[in-house]
Amino acid sequence: MDKRQRSAFPQDFLWGGAIAANQAEGAYKEGGKGLSIADLHFYTSEKTYGSMKEDAALKNVKQSLVLDPNKYYPKQSGIDFYHTYKEDLALMQQMGSQCFRTSFNWPRIFPNGDEEQPNEEGLLFYDRLIDEMLALGIEPLMTISHYEMPLHLVSQYGGWANRKLVDFFSRFCEVLFERYHSKVKYWITFNQINLISFNSVGLLRDRYENYQQATYQAIHHQLVAQAMAKMIASQYRSDLMVGTMLSDKIAYPATCKPEDQLFSLRKNQMQYFFSDVSMRGHYPGYAFRYFEENGIQVEFAPDDEQLLQQYPMDYLAFSYYYTKLNDSFKDSFDPTDKSSNPYLKSSEWGWEIDPLGLRIALNNYYDRYECPLFITENGLGAHDVVEANGEIHDPYRISYINDHLVQIAEAIRDGVEVLGYCLWTPIDIVSCGTAEMSKRYGLIYVDRDDEGQGSGKRLLKDSYFWYKDVIRTNGDKLEK
């Protein structure tokens, strides 16, 4: 569409929703599946929501990497999407969903991650899942790696700090692109590649003297691996869209003091680092300065720089939930150490609600890369109440989504190219960070509690019918 004519959501805008295999599928032992790092993320009721930071499977597991029979691991059962996907996808299709983002469960296809041949039974599940989406007229958006690394790759190889994982991941990608290139157009290499606090690189902190060194070496291997994924994909179809994904963590300067401005600039640069390399194809100078100042030496193989330059990503996907402040007086350079914005209200989990920040983020990314953008996660986690008649009234969720969609429309008017919007989530799933069910994002309620009890029955919330109308009208009736 001509940028001079953008005034609303384009007609080919993709409306949909997103989940992750490890939070939804369950069936952690079925079909020859191996253990993933998510399968060891146990539930604990000890929470402090106001000060909660992101948690991760390996942070809970620590060194043991062994299941404890006295603990409950919610992601092993999820919402049983492995068995209910047809019914769940039908509900999404009835809502009008035009796309659906989910992920391949790596150990369902390569149980240990280092096998020469894939597990055919695992692939057959994704055959059925993707075919069902296509039969319903839903565009598949598939994430290759979404916090589902085979546990064996952590225990035996030390995760992504080991260069061998580039080869294992490339073999995984080769299998996926060969099998699904004719069915799946949109791909994401790594979910939230910059969110290293989730330990998605598979490093156990206390096994490394210089954890930062190991982390950035692991990230380098992921950046090389996704370039190789793009190279593999290009051998099958020239129109495949292979993108990377960020968790938007760009923060505002706390004040207009020059010290806060510079501190925020430098800290934000190390968030842009991941997409700068992915989209521009080379390491920026500010990253090398950061490495030098922090005693980090990233090892490059001879062909790495050429590979990164030759195979940048086709589009940038990102999740957006909240914003923070960078305060040069209060905060360290640690990416998780940020201050709260006193001008914003927060969710029950202490996440600031900032719809205008989404318009700012879209403009910043588009100005920086001039590439298509895809919002692949955005939503509100909240406690929902089922009324006696089975109805679920969630005006807080409707308000949150509405206000963020309004700002997406404004960004489109600004000239930003936005491919689509995947709501997190169309259906309740286990929380990524806290392994709860009570932190509900879905428009479809799943009758299961934090302890795994419940019928599993699906109920439609008010937000389901509201989003259905948004999709039907292509966003024309949003409340501004």
Contact 434, 28 (CB under 8 A): no
Dist CA 187 CA 247 (whole Å): 16
Coil, helix or strand for 283? Answer: coil
Listed residue (327, 251, 440, 349) closest to 52, CA to CA: 349
Chain position carrying tokens 């963020």: 404
Query: Cα angle at 63 between 62 and 65, to 5 degrees?
Result: 90
Q: How many whole angstroms separate alpha carbon 144 and alpha carbon 102?
A: 9
Q: Contacts from 86-90 at CB under 8 Å and sequence distance 24+?
A: 86/132, 87/458, 88/427, 88/444, 88/458, 89/132, 89/133, 89/136, 89/138, 90/136
DSSP readout, 60-73? HHTT--S--TTS--
The verdict on whether 377 is a catalytic residue reads yes
- SS3 call for 354: coil
Give the phi and the psi of residue 390 in degrees, each rounded to 5. 90, 0
Nearest of 167, 228, 160 to residue 193 by alpha carbon = 160
List of residues 6+ apart from 2 with CB closer than 8 A: none
Question: Whole-angstrom Cα distance, residue 340 to residue 327?
Answer: 10
CA dist 448 and 297 (Å) reads 47
Residue 422 belongs to what H/E stretch?
Answer: strand 418-424
Closest to 325 (Cα-Cα) out of 251, 258, 381: 251
DSSP 336: T
- The active-site residue, picked from 132, 377, 417, 436, is 377
Give me the active site residues, please: 377
